[in-house]
Structure 1
Amino acid sequence: MKNFTSTNQHNDALFTLIKSLTKSEKRQFHLYVGRLGGNTDAKFFALFKFLDKQKKYDEKAILKSEIVSKLQLSNLKAHLYKQILTSLRMNPAHKNIRIQIREQLDFATVLYQKGLYKQSLKILEKAKALAIENEEKNIAYEIIELEKNIETQYITRSISTRADELSVQAKMISQSNVIASKLSNLSLQLYGILLKTGYVRNDKELQKINSYFNSRLPKYDYNSLGFRDLLWLYKAHLWRSFLVQDFLLGYKYASKWVELFKKYPKMVQLNPVFYLKGKNYLLESLFLIKHRNKFCKELDFFEKEIEENRIPINGNTEILIFQYYYANQLHKCFLEGTFEQGEYLVDEINQKIKDYSTRLDKHHIVTLYYKIACLYFGMGKNRECIEYLSKIIEAKKLYVGEDLQCFARILNLIAHYECGLDYHLEKQFKDTYKFLLKMENLQEVQKVFIESIKSLGELYPHEFKKEFQKIHSKLKEFEDHAYEKRAFLYLDILSWLESKIENKPIAYIIREKAKEHFR
């Protein structure tokens, strides 16, 4: 069974890789195979063409085509996978600085192994300068270690202090790499805590996170930190800010993250993924602190960057741009209460999800579904809202955050109530209660809301308004609570209650709040 699973994963990886290729990359692969000589009819190329035509991976169809026998299939796939990667590596579109430096190091290694020490050292010197200039310190350290190795066999006469110079360089870069490693470890560990346990829920957890952060933050001289060191430092602070729900502090460090790329503009080309993530956290922080004007300004600038192709496009960035651009366009609708104006986004998002189906993480898909459900809820289109929420609730076997599942169910309950689906409403209550009972560390906001809304089923219509006012008063106490306020980030329950009390659309309530906030 273990081998079967492993083989299937490899098959899927190959098929996904082929489907990710652009027309240009496929053309490059055809030319690459042609240059190999006598390989245009080779089995691996025949398999490539066959898989390229398939809409979904079908091993039975491959075997039926008689391109390869079942016994040879695994090896042929591995060979094809390697050939595609080799072709991609040669593609000019993938020749970034990091690959160029690594290529030069490979050339120098070949020359060294042939005993051509002087030629090898010459290439290494240029590669090292390029690595240091572009903050590629790990590769720079590798280069210095090879230089030291060569010096033990070929002592240059031009620089008498060559050995000392290399030792000092190695020590400096090694120390810098140690700090960068500690900062990156801290950042990754904090992110892991956020995924595993979520935001802090009380003073004890807050103290624990602060203690964890301070004990693992390495000592450093801020003025001596380079681009990568600062990037990891800001990321670590950002994750800590999110964990403790200090979103204003999160905005501060997300701003520093983005400003860092303005200070080192060429790093956008070398590290576009990090740049995009910084932009997204900046927008997310602004959304969480409800700074509408600044949010819209940053989103407009992000859109301009995309339109003017200022951000390098590759398989990674293409997916991230899709996720971040559309998620924040939806956030804009939520901030402004302009839900109807955002309805056009739904078809575009669904088409993109279809286009990127083999590369999109399921968690990111259901997150977008939740935002779409909130959009429809704001428009008063509750049946459409229920349709998208059902996609999330039915995805419980996939990795979906417990918070997202919880609020999807609560919103589902509200949407059923709005639709007047009394029979379904009773079922939703039971299902929601069952789910909440299984949840650990349930928030007070969730408890209060569920208990309160349950009583609505026992009231006459003329009593609803008074009951809504009671529920609103109870929940209002938690709006600015340090550990409870995040519940309102997932679902604006207060605005919904106010819409019921005032008998006005929820979009109108949110728009009026936005005007009041920035008056």
Structure 2
Amino acid sequence: MKKNTTSKSQKDFLFVLIKSLTTSEKRQFKLYVNRLGINADAKFLLLFSELDKMSEYDENIIIEKKVSTKQQLSNLKAHLYKQILVSLRMNPSHQNYRIQLREQLDFANILYQKGLYKQALKILDKSKQTALELDEKSIASEIIDLEKVIESQFITRSIVGRADELIDQSKRISLQNHYTTELSNLSLKLYSEMLTHGYVKNDEDRLEIMQIFNTQIKNIAFEKLNFTEKLWYFKAHVWKNQLLQDYKYTLKYAYQWVDLFHKNPEMIASHPVWYIKGNTYLLKILFLYGNIDILEEHFNRFNEKVYSSSFAQNENLQSLVFLTHYNTLMNIHFVKGEFFTGTKLIPEIEMKMEKLRDKIDEHHFMIFYLKMAAMFFGSKKYKESIHYSMKVLESKGNVQEDLIFHTRILILMAKHESGNDEDYDEFIKETQRFAKKMKNPEEFHFESVKFFKNLNNIISDKQLKAFEAFDEKLELFSTNEYYRRSLLYIDIRGWIKSKIQNQDVIEIIRQKVKYKRRH
């Protein structure tokens, strides 16, 4: 019974919205209702109080307490939902320039309808200048459309060439909006390809992505693009090169994406989400390259900006900053081989994960759990490593197959190291079955399962040859551009080399860091 209630509560939008409200937002809602002169016993207020007290959504309680009948409840909830949104719109913490521009456009519409044309035009002209400065062409276009409507009814003879000016502005904005539409459509298509089909697996996949990309991009003249179009242009290139696993060009365009904001710092406040996302890709690709000095330099610059008082604050941005900050921080510890230090972060991360559970998708949580498991593995705490790995395998969410497969490999590594091999053979069989059921299984997946299956049947003094043979196969996989991604989830090669060289895996990582710093 409880399971059904939880499922319902997650689906009930009104309940989730009320639970997301801060104390100050709840207080403002009550003040807003009082200003409307609504009776404190009004049913939608009673419903608000009742839902606020619930830990889980239960419709039966509302009906039992006669807050509403079953027939009236749907309409009552819809009314309450709307009133909460109106109250939130008035909250200063949710005010931004887009809402303010829309508000000015609404005011101009009201003045126009009252026949106060000059007053309406004055508001529109000021709002249009702000919209153009902020590269908000959609709103600017709406403003110009209203200006044209008013001018067609009320000729402002004091402004010479007013009609030509509006026509010229309208044409220029229409062209820029066309570029924005083309580039945003391309970016969204590529992003969708990445989520639905994953990275390219062969030449046929590569050809298909290049065809999608080139068909759209060939008509774009970069020198004619403004800020927003350039932003979409760089996004499209980042996602294309991510799909192609071409990390050199992913790095190039991720850097240009972030640099675009640094060259136009006023736009960070206008597009904070895309500033965070650009840094997310840049920091991720720098981690894959392993150059710790450059990674830390960009990480510090990111933190300096997003934790400054001038950076916008809301729940969405907080969750995005959390993901980028802690993923990068853990990546830095991985690059340096600082596993023991990394494990000390885990309680802090888990506490923040719990607070943001409703705002972050399951896949991101699973990535964190895999990283935690890898941190414990590097710290030689194999029991804890298996514990966090199992959180990934037991997830009911939509988790990528590669992530699950590599979690299984990490468990096999931990079982081998700890000597806890009671269910080793059964786990191998399960992993083999999983690999066969994958949508796009690769040779790497089957060879990995084969290696661990044989490893458990080889006596200790002959295991070295097995490690050396598997290392040779991993070397071949690393030269294949379509297998490259498979070797990035966990550092299986570092572990294999540590066995061959009879060194701690931390020492192997430290050698790589020194090499990257010299080059």
Corresponding residue of 2:470: 471
Q: Distance in 2 between matches of 1:24 and 1:409?
A: 45
Whether contact under 8 Å (2:370, 2:389) holds in the other structure is yes
Deviation at 1:453, TM superposition (A): 2.1
Could you give the per-residue CA deviations for residues 195-215 of structure 1, whole angstroms, max 9, x where no partner exists? Answer: 111111223322322222111
Letter of the aligned partner of 2:471 in structure 1? H
1:458–1:221 Cα change, 3 Å: closer
Describe the shift of the 1:9–1:122 C-alpha distance in structure 2 as closer, same or farther (beyond 3 A). farther
| Aligned residue in 1 for 2:392 | 392
Cα distance in structure 1, aligned partners of 2:95 and 2:427 = 54
Q: CA deviation at 1:400?
A: 0.7
Task: Tell me, yes or no, if structure 1 residue 432 matches structure 2 residue 434.
Answer: no
Equivalent in the alignment of 1:421: 420
Matched residue, 1:378: 378
Deviations 1:50-91 (A, max 9, x none): 222222222223333332222222111111111111011111
Match of 2:96 in 1: 96
Contact 1:179 1:218 in 2 (8 A): no
Q: Residue deviations 1:466-519, cap 9 Å, x none?
A: 211121122122223312121111121111112222333322221222123323
CA RMSD of aligned residues (A): 2.0
- Say which is worse superposed, 286-295 or 60-69, in terms of deviation: 60-69
Residue identity matched to 1:506: V
Structural mapping, 1:155-234, within 5 Å: 155-234=155-234
What runs of 5+ residues in structure 1 fail to find an aligned partner?
Answer: none
SS of residue in 2 equivalent to 1:477: helix
Identity of aligned residues (%): 46
Report the alpha carbon displacement of residue 177 of structure 1 after superposing the two structures with TM. 0.1
Summarize the Cα distance change of 1:442–1:273 in structure 2 as closer, same or farther, 3 Å threshold. same
Gaps of 5+ in 2: none
Give the CA deviation at 1:189. Answer: 0.4
Amino acid at match of 1:168: D
Q: Secondary structure at the match of 1:121?
A: helix
The one-letter code matched in structure 1 to 2:198 is G
Q: Report Cα offsets for 1:328-363 as digits up to 9, x if no partner.
A: 111111111101111121111111121122222112
Query: 1:243-286 deviations in whole A, cap 9, x for unaligned?
Result: 11111211111111111111221211121111111111110110
Shift in Å, 1:9: 7.8
Q: Which moved more, 1:308-317 or 1:60-69?
A: 60-69
Structure-2 change in CA distance of 1:485 and 1:454 (3 Å) = same
Within-5 A mapping of 1:62-461: 62-395=62-395, 397-461=396-460
Deviation at 1:100, TM superposition (A): 0.8
Match of 2:491 in 1: 492
- Which AA in structure 2 matches 1:403? D
Is contact 2:425–2:453 with CA below 8 Å preserved after alignment? no
One-letter amino acid of the structure 2 residue matched with residue 312 of structure 1? A
CA distance in 2 between counterparts of 1:307 and 1:212 reads 38
| Aligned-partner Cα distance in 1 for 2:267–2:72 | 44
Structure 2 Cα separation of the partners of residues 283 and 314 of structure 1: 22
Residues 455, 67 of structure 1: alpha-carbon distance in 2 compared, 3 angstrom cutoff: same
8 Å contact kept, 2:363–2:398: yes
- The number of aligned residues is 514
What displacement does 1:320 show? Answer: 0.5
Q: Residue 372 of structure 1: CA displacement?
A: 1.1
Residues of 2 paired with 1:436 and 1:215: CA distance?
A: 35
Q: What CA distance in whole angstroms lies between the structure 1 residues aligned with 2:378 and 2:490?
A: 11
Q: Residue 11 of structure 1: CA displacement? A: 6.0
How far apart, in 2, do the equivalents of 1:326 and 1:160 lie? 58
Q: Deviations over 1:453-476 (max 9, x none)?
A: 211122112211221112112212
Shift of 1:117: 2.0
Kindly provide the CA deviation profile for residues 120-165 of structure 1, in whole angstroms up to 9, marking residues without a partner as x.
Answer: 2221111111111111100111111111112222222212422222
CA contact (8 A) 1:184 1:232 kept: yes
Paired position in structure 1 for 2:505: 506
Shift of 1:219: 2.4
Q: Secondary structure at the residue paired with 1:38?
A: coil
Distance 1:279 1:338, change over 3 A: same
Q: Is the contact made by 1:102 and 1:139 (CA closer than 8 Å) also made in structure 2?
A: yes
Q: Structure 1 CA distance, aligned partners of 2:83 and 2:390?
A: 43
Superposed CA deviations along residues 7-63 of structure 1, whole A, max 9, x for unmatched, are 958962212212222222222212111111133332222222222222222222333
Query: Which letter does structure 2 place at the counterpart of 1:211?
Result: Q
The whole-number CA distance in structure 2 between the counterparts of 1:431 and 1:230 is 47
Deviations 1:183-239 (A, max 9, x none): 000011001111111111223322322222111115233333111011000000000
Q: Which SS does the other structure have where 1:267 is aligned?
A: helix
CA distance in 1, matches of 2:305, 2:159: 48
Alignment correspondent of 1:42: 42
Structure 1 residues 389-443: Cα deviation after superposition (integer angstroms, max 9, x where no partner):
1111122x42111111121122222222222222311111111011101113322
Shift of 1:105: 0.5
> Cα offset for 1:181?
0.6
Could you tell me how far 1:173 is from its partner in structure 2? 0.4
Q: Report SS of the residue matched to 1:490.
A: coil
Amino acid in the other structure paired with 1:514: V
CA distance in 2: counterparts of 1:409 and 1:67, whole angstroms: 51
* Amino acid in the other structure paired with 1:130: T
How far 1:99 moved relative to its partner?
0.7
| 8 Å Cα contact 1:251/1:282 also seen in 2 | yes
User: Structure 1 pair 218/24, CA: closer, same or farther in 2 (3 Å)?
Assistant: farther
Other structure's SS at 1:504 match: coil
Distance (Å, rounded) in 2 between the aligned partners of 1:367 and 1:80: 37
Q: What letter matches 1:278 in structure 2?
A: G
